[in-house]
Amino acid sequence: MEGILVPITFFICTFAMIFGIRYFNNKEKMAMIERGIDPGVRKSTPQPFLSLKFGLLLVGLGIGLLVALFTVRGVFGDNMTDAQEGQSVAIYFGCLGVFGGIGLIVSYIIEKAWLDKQA
């Protein structure tokens, strides 16, 4: 019985969520029309440094993975116990966070220098 009930409940909840999102979106647009506001597509501002930011983030993550790999191999060697494997996972996540953050900081410094140069 539970094998049939879960997919049916999932389908009903998904349908209700999509219906609710569309309903409230339509209601918001109708309220904007009533107030005389153009409900057209919202234009976003261009983001010229978006690809630089993602590129430096991914480079930072890649460097973090390499540093974590060399650190784990240098500290633990090839034969690891279960406790050492858990510690190596922490090293991987730590290096990913640190080097990904460094990549974003470098992106911020480059963007700030460019904006200061433009002003």
Residue range 11-38: mean pLDDT, rounded: 92
Relative orientation angle of helices 82-118 and 50-76, to the nearest 10 degrees: 150
pTM of the model: 0.60
- For position 43, what pLDDT does the model report? 64
Residue range 12-27: mean pLDDT, rounded: 96
How far is the CA of 16 from the CAs of 5, 20, 24, 25, 89, in angstroms? 16, 6, 12, 14, 39
| Torsion 79-88-98-104 (CA) sign | positive
- For position 76, what pLDDT does the model report? 84
What digits encode the pLDDT tens for the residues 41-61? 666 667 788 889 999 999 999
